[in-house]
Amino acid sequence: MDTTMSNKAKNGLGLVSIVIMIWTIIPLLWIVATSLKSDAALADPKQNVLGNFWPKDISWDNYKLIFSGGASDLFVPALWHSIIVCVVATVISVALATFCAYAISRLDFPGKKLILTSSLAVSFFPVIAMVTPLFNLWRQVGLFDTIPGLIIPYLALTLPLSIWTLSAFFQQIPWEMEQAAQVDGATSWQAFVKVVAPLAAPGVFTTAIIAFFTAWNDFVFSSNLTAQNAQTVPAALNFFTGASQFVQPTGAICAAAVIVTIPVVILVLVFQRRIVTGLTSGAVKG
């Protein structure tokens, strides 16, 4: 491929990829830049460089506003809710999905296909169709606007996905290794811990990442099943107000959007290969 390509063609392709980079990166840089502008810079283009893009003087006011200033009452609890709800939901969902995927790929019982199909079929239902009945139920049992009231729908959201992804991973594990270890004198538990767990760990980890960012980015459940006691950051972004009610909270919203984006960008940069393997596992199986 590359050996047959001329240098000229290579340069052309390089140029195209730079253009693509700009197309994907600029909108993100735009939020970062806006979050670093003071109120004065937001109002006056002369205080910015690169055609009103980047502020001449970087201001951390917006971050102060959301972490300790007027908007902190809204943002800080929302950030905690996001972290708690998503971590708990991810851990429970991946643990349960691991049981399920282990049973499907390892044990012999009737109805395997039915279980896989029924967990996949969930993705054909519009998520919004679950919101109203849950809203109704949550108000009756007192789970509306509570942390568990959000963890449960996130389990429903991530569990089918995790079962499907993990089953695909577990199909590829050479399970006979476990048996071989037992023949060599290891107990079932030792065989599981020393042989199976290390083989299964990458798949479990990948599934956890995908489950985490699915929950982290949810907007539908959080904006409709919570008010303030359990609201997560994506939903809270809608309720920002400025330093006073007459100031547009543009900078503060952008600062909050940057904070909520940082964890997933780090995940992508570090684990992109794994995430892609997880996302394609369903495609490969067909």
Partner 1 sequence: MTATPQSSSVAPRSGPPEPVGAPPKRSGRPYGEWLLAALLLLPNLALLVIFTYRPLADNIRLSFTDWNISAPVAHYIGFDNYKTWWHDPNAHEVLKNTLIFTVATVGISMALGLALAILLDQQLRGRNLVRSAIFAPFVISGAAVGIAFQFVFDPNFGMIRDLFDRVGITVPDFYQRPGWALFMVTATYIWKNLGYTFVIYLAALQGRRADLDEAAEIDGASAWRRFTKVLLPQLRPTTFFLSITVLLNSVQVFDIINVMTRGGPQGYGTTTLVYQVYRETFVNSRAGYGATIATIMFLILLVITVVQVRVMDRGMRRD
Interface with partner 1 in residues 198-257 (CB under 8 A): 213, 216-217, 219-220, 223-224, 233-235, 237-238, 250, 253-254, 257
- Identify which of residues 55 and 160 has a Cβ nearer to partner 1 in the complex: 160
Sorted by sequence, the CB contacts under 8 Å of residue 157 that are 6+ apart come out as 127, 214, 215, 218, 221
CB of 145 to partner 1, least distance (A): 14
Contact flag: residue 264 with partner 1 (CB under 8 A): yes
User: From CA 135, how far away is CA 152, in angstroms rounded?
Assistant: 12
Q: Point out which span in 57-65, 67-75, 135-143, 199-207 binds partner 1 (CB under 8 A).
A: 135-143
Task: Using the structure block, give the residue that is written with the tokens 């851990």.
Answer: 91
Q: List binders of partner 1 among 11-50 (CB under 8 A).
A: 13-14, 16-17, 20-21, 23-28, 30-31, 34, 45
What does the per-residue mask of binding to partner 1 show for 68-97, with x meaning CB under 8 A? ----------------------------xx
Q: Point out which span in 55-63, 64-72, 176-184, 200-208 binds partner 1 (CB under 8 A).
A: 176-184
Given 49, 57, 76, 179, the residue binding partner 1 (CB under 8 A) = 179
- Identify which of residues 59 and 281 has a Cβ nearer to partner 1 in the complex: 281
- Identify which of residues 60 and 99 has a Cβ nearer to partner 1 in the complex: 99
- Identify which of residues 58 and 180 has a Cβ nearer to partner 1 in the complex: 180
Q: Point out which span in 56-64, 69-77, 183-191, 199-207 binds partner 1 (CB under 8 A).
A: 183-191
Given 6, 7, 46, 107, the residue binding partner 1 (CB under 8 A) = 107
Q: Point out which span in 55-63, 67-75, 112-120, 199-207 binds partner 1 (CB under 8 A).
A: 112-120
CB of 244 to partner 1, least distance (A): 21
